[in-house]
Structure 1
């Protein structure tokens, strides 16, 4: 298990984490910031110039999961992880990958009032003044208060909140330990096993009467997606799409959906690639749209979007696939793609 202590600079994550080690038997401090420092030393300077924060590096996010899994083969756990995580798509990627490894997460947000945060940041600056790093640390920390305020809405919904405004580090740790014992902050994410070979996946495009397409927001991976999933062994792809729509949205499609796009996705480590199929599930009436249901452990939201809006929400590979699927639908003829490019 991982006890993920989230919160902005000055919330007391590190001091509470050290106190928590005394309260959770077998626990080990796991600081992913060390991975970021290592990547700064190993990656070319040109690559580092492309990102504002090491969290923006896909390699860092994958290393967080791989290192946690490796550590848990050496120690009994839990791992206590004091790490700010303000971007929801990064939370989805990391926590979803941990769930795929069968590593449960207790997500705890250490929160404090902004005036307290600013005072703690200033006090930390004074403590670091002798090292010559105080001013730069203070500027960096203050700059992140706005991002924290923006993220607070989804963080408060996702995590168990402990207000550290008037707590000592020990009192904070005691509240976190009690939360862990009672199961608070448990992230009930669907456990989708990581593929070990090429996969076959079926997605279904559903439309409203304005010809907008339905997208869903998974809790276990970044970016929006089409309803659908992996085709099970021995299962027909179109039937897999029908099954996934029923499981994810509570909608029973009246007939077998029509194929729009077959796209071969090239393997790109650590992914294995495979065939991705998109089917036309037709137009949903207003009554059926109002009946949409979401499984909380798998999907957090849905919306109908135009093609232009979809480009802003979907990862580039999925948006390209959608773009061609919409053209195939308009022409009434399916398209065969290889790595996103029509062939034949």
Structure 2
């Protein structure tokens, strides 16, 4: 298990983590900041210069989960992880990768008011210097902006009037009660190429339905990995039922087959999109989301989708909409149609 101590700089994450080591038998301090420092030293200066924070490195986010798994093969656990995490898409990526490795996470927010945070940051400046103080102060506004999603998920402990030991005792008590457990359902990471089926569902204005997964960044189409021996179209129907509580009576029509090339650590494979048809307003109103997998859904235009989908999924959607208009499915490779004619 990982006890992830989130919070602004000055909230007391590191001091609380050290106190928790005495209160949680078998626990080990796991500081992902060391991974960031190592990457800064190993990566070319040109690459490091392209980022403002090591958390912006995909390799850092990937290594956080990989290193946690490696550590838990060496120690009893839990791992105590004092690390500010303010971007929700990074939370989804890291916690989803941990869930895929069957590593449970307890998300604890250590919170203090801005006045107290500023005073603590000023105290640190005496030893850490003005540059560190300025860096910490710049993160107060992003912290305030992130509070709504963090408090909706994490168990909050107000550290304003607590010593590090008192904070750790409250965290330990909360953990024993099961507070802060992150409920993510995620299949194990693939070990070979996979086939995945997505289903496009439309409203009466021909807007397409997208869902917001809890286990990876960016929005997605309803669907999932095709199980062994399962027909891809039926897999899409199954996933729509599991994810949205919606029964599709007709087998969906194929729109796109996209070959996704391997890109380490991913293995790639075939990605299929099917046309699930239009949903009546009453059907859309009755959609049910499994909170462990999806946190939201919405109907969007193609223009809206451009601000929600990662580039490869957006390319796939645009081709699927084209195929829907023409009535001819398309074959893609890495999101790009092969040839100028339909190959089916």
| TM-score (structure 2 length as normaliser) | 0.98
One of 221, 228, 232 as aligned partner of 1:226: 221
Equivalence map 1:295-310=2 (5 Å)? 295-310=290-305
| Structure 2 residue aligned with 1:65 | 65
Q: Secondary structure at the match of 1:180?
A: helix
* Structure 1 residues without counterparts, runs of 5 or longer: 129-133
Deviations 1:112-139 (A, max 9, x none): 00100000000111233xxxxx110111
Q: Which residue of 2 aligns with 1:165?
A: 160
Q: Secondary structure at the match of 2:139?
A: helix
SS at match of 2:37: helix
Question: Mapping of 1:93-132 within 5 angstroms?
Answer: 93-128=93-128
Offset of 1:180 from its aligned partner?
1.0
SS of the equivalent of 1:313 reads coil
Matches within 5 A, 1:87-98: 87-98=87-98
1:49 aligns with 49
Equivalent residue runs for 1:179-198 within 5 Å: 179-198=174-193
Give the SS at the match of 2:200.
Answer: strand
Q: Per-residue CA shift, 1:75-128, capped at 9, x if unaligned?
A: 100000000000011101100110111100000000000100000000111233
Deviation by residue 1:277-307 (Cα, 9 ceiling, x = unmatched): 0000111111001100000000000011111
Counterpart Cα distance in 2 of 1:124 and 1:341: 52
- Which secondary structure state, in structure 1, belongs to the residue aligned with residue 292 of structure 2? coil
Q: Partners of 1:142 and 1:339 in 2: how far apart?
A: 42
The equivalent residue for 1:76 is: 76
Helix, strand or coil: the match of 2:224?
strand
Alignment partner for residue 336 of structure 1, among 323, 331, 339? 331
Alignment correspondent of 1:34: 34
* Runs of 5+ consecutive residues of structure 2 not aligned to the other structure: none
Q: Which runs of 4+ in 1 moved over 4 A?
A: none
Write the mapping of 1:237-248 to structure 2, written as runs, cut at 5 A. Answer: 237-248=232-243
2:6 maps to what in 1?
6
